Amino acid sequence: MSLYTSVLSVMLATNSAVVAISNEVQSATGISLPVVDPSDPAEVALHQVMVADDQAADEVDQWIKDNQAFAANGAGVPKEELNQRIRARFDLVRQAYKDFLLKYPKSARGHLAYGTFLNDLGEEDAGAAEYEISKGLDPTNPAVWNNLANYYGEYSPVTNAFAYYAKAIELNPNEPVYYQNFATTMYLFRHDATNFYNITEPQVFDKSLALYRQAMRLDPANLPLATDYAQSFYGIRPLRTNDALVAWTNALNLTHNEVEREGVYIHLARVKITIGRFDEAREDLNVITNASLADMRKRLERNLNEKLHPETVTNAPGKT
């Protein structure tokens, strides 16, 4: 299923339901919904609707890109006009799902697919209602437990998210997305996790990091996943410096281009400044030339210089 990220960015002004945490937890199921039995008319019909769903997403994505290009040249249509066109296009898909479920109301995968469609358009409550129906029809599908866990992680009770991610993993222990989602949610809601599991905050961090590592074992080439894991160390006090350096070094080995590499070098320099490896930090900062990282590089260079020359901070005008 496509995740309509670019669509939501265009329609954000008319969709107040999108909240910050939705950017923290992946809503992907990690599992496609292929035709299971070509001789089953319900499966064939669902496949056709899902193909239409993906085609609509591709078309809308192209509309957005084209309109952005036109707008850069002084043309393009107003946002509201484009939004209306997008809504009309997706309304056709919505109706196709409704027609399918009217004919096949017991299709657990149909309710799951429709719920994902609604969720991706920002209609999270309606999507969750479809997930609940799907779960009732087929509680052995790990994807629906994961999707419901995403919902509860965003809208509470977050303890449901903990339990549902665990269930998804129990049903399919080989899907890295479930571990990553679980790790992120536990990290973000560590106070809830301490109460739910009756453990300390450091132990919550340990559980979250272990989930991340399991996800990386299953998907070792995933740079965003490795980056999420490495960034999680910033929230832990005291900083687990050796683990953080290992995590960022692993992320560096997964980069594909200079932009990605420089983004990782920023973090390596930050950690090295913290632990007093100043020469290495300077070398990492000297690698960075990308304009988008210039401000961060300047801040870290200033921090490095203050570490090397603390007297300049003490004696600087206005400093006491």
Residue 173, pLDDT score: 98
In a domain, 173, yes or no: no
Residues 15 and 124 occupy one common structural domain: yes
Residues 18 and 131 occupy one common structural domain: yes
5 pLDDT above the threshold of 50: no
- pLDDT, tens digit (0-9, with 9 covering 90-100), for 76-121: 788 889 999 999 999 999 999 999 999 999 999 999 999 999 999 9
Residues 19 and 131 occupy one common structural domain: yes
Residues 127 and 252 occupy one common structural domain: no
Work out the percent of the chain whose per-residue pLDDT is above 90.
78
Residues 39 and 133 occupy one common structural domain: yes
Question: How does DSSP classify residue 38?
Answer: T
Work out the percent of the chain whose per-residue pLDDT is above 70.
86
Mean pLDDT of the region 213-226 = 98
| Of the residues 75, 110, 138, the one at which a domain ends | 138
Return mean pLDDT, the chain. 87
Q: Which residue type does 1 have? A: M
- Structural contact between residues 178 and 165, judged by C-beta atoms closer than 8 angstroms: yes
Mean pLDDT of the region 220-228 = 97
Residues 129 and 227 occupy one common structural domain: no
- pLDDT, tens digit (0-9, with 9 covering 90-100), for 31-59: 455 556 778 899 999 999 999 999 999 99
Whole-number Å distance between alpha carbons of 280 and 245: 12
Residues 3 and 134 occupy one common structural domain: yes
In a domain, 209, yes or no: no
> With 0-12 CB in 10 A as exposed, 13-18 as middle and 19+ as buried, what is 305?
middle
CA dist list (Å): 125 to 62, 118, 136, 237, 315: 28, 9, 17, 36, 57
In a domain, 77, yes or no: yes
21 pLDDT above the threshold of 60: no
The separation between the first and the last C-alpha atoms of the chain, rounded to the nearest angstrom, is: 58
Q: Which residue type does 199 have? A: I
Mean pLDDT of the region 235-260 = 95
CA geometry: angle 8, 13, 15, nearest 5 deg: 60
In a domain, 167, yes or no: no
In a domain, 106, yes or no: yes
Q: What share of the chain is helix, strand, coil (3-state, %, to 5)?
A: 75, 0, 25
Residues 10 and 118 occupy one common structural domain: yes
Residues 131 and 238 occupy one common structural domain: no
Confidence band of 317 (pLDDT split at 50, 70, 90): low
Whole-number Å distance between alpha carbons of 198 and 167: 19
Confidence band of 63 (pLDDT split at 50, 70, 90): very high
* Residues 6+ away with beta carbon under 8 Å from 137: 106, 107, 108, 111
- pLDDT, tens digit (0-9, with 9 covering 90-100), for 182-219: 999 999 999 999 999 999 999 999 999 999 999 999 99
CA 180 to chain centre: 9
In a domain, 258, yes or no: yes
In a domain, 255, yes or no: yes
Predicted TM-score (pTM) of the model is: 0.83
| Of the residues 107, 138, 169, the one at which a domain ends | 138
Residues 112 and 237 occupy one common structural domain: no
In a domain, 132, yes or no: yes
Mean pLDDT of the region 253-270 = 96
- pLDDT, tens digit (0-9, with 9 covering 90-100), for 159-172: 999 999 999 999 99
Confidence band of 70 (pLDDT split at 50, 70, 90): confident
| Of the residues 112, 138, 164, the one at which a domain ends | 138
Quote the domain boundaries for residue 6: 1-138
Count of structural domains, the chain: 2
Confidence band of 309 (pLDDT split at 50, 70, 90): confident
